[in-house]
Amino acid sequence: MEKWLYMMMIEKTKTYNKVTKAVITQHVENIRNLDDAGKLELCGVFKGYPGMAGMYILKTESREEAEELCKQEPLVTGGFATYKLVSMLVADKDNNYLL
């Protein structure tokens, strides 16, 4: 069975520097909720990459589910960021690294 992960690349908008503490608190709560629901594989902030804020790697049943989670990100709903969603077919021991 194929295993897919979905990477949400979070890109800053021109208003990113106006993000409020309240939005950051909502953003962190969203991360906690994703993690508690078992939907978050990894997340982090990018340093030294102009225009990029960070990323999530999501574990969902489908790309459509991952897309819905991306649309709910407070940085996105607040207009402080946009996102690109990338699908990744996982290569690991279980599938002989896709050989």
Q: What is the pTM of this model?
A: 0.93
Listed by start position, the domains of the chain span 4-88
pLDDT above 90 for 65:
yes
**Over the stretch 9-22, which tens digit does the pLDDT of each residue have?**
999 999 999 999 99
Q: Which helix (H) or strand (E) holds 52?
A: strand 52-58
**Residue 31 contacts residue 40 (beta carbons within 8 Å):** yes
CB burial class (10 A; 0-12, 13-18, 19+) of residue 13?
middle
What is the structure's pLDDT at 1? 79
Give the pLDDT band (50/70/90) at residue 67.
Answer: very high
| Among 26, 35, 77, CA closest to 56 | 35
CATH 3.40.50.300 corresponds to the domain 4-88: no
Q: What is the 3 state secondary structure string of 62-84?
A: CHHHHHHHHHCCHHHHCCCEEEE
Q: How does pLDDT run across 19-63, given as a tens digit for each residue?
A: 999 999 999 999 999 999 999 999 999 999 999 999 999 999 999
**DSSP secondary structure code for residue 91 in this structure:** -
